[in-house]
Amino acid sequence: MLAAGMSEDEILADYTYLERADFPAVYAYAAQSGRARQSV
C-alpha cells in the first residue's frame, strides 16, 4: 500500500487494528527484503 502511494494515515484509517508504531517494522522488513533480492 505504501508503494502504491497510500500514506501512513490512510492505511491507519483503513486498518484500525494497526498502530503508527507498527510502521518501523514494515520499513525494516521492506529494506531487508530488498537487500535479499539484490544478493540473489
**Domain extent listing, the chain:** 8-38
Instruction: Find, among 33, 21, 38, 30, the residue nearest to 1 by Cα.
Output: 30
Give the contacts of 9 (CB within 8 A, at least 6 positions apart).
none
pLDDT at 12 over 80: yes
Estimate to the nearest angstrom the gap between the alpha carbon of 20 and the chain centroid: 11
pLDDT at 37 over 70: no
Q: What is the per-residue pLDDT for 3?
A: 87
The DSSP code sequence of 1-31 is: -TTTT--HHHHHHH-TT--GGGHHHHHHHHH
Instruction: Give the percent of the chain with pLDDT over 70.
Output: 90
pLDDT in tens, 21-32: 999 999 999 899
Whole-angstrom Cα distance, residue 16 to residue 18?
A: 5
pLDDT at 40 over 90: no
Q: Whole-structure pTM over 0.85, yes or no? A: no
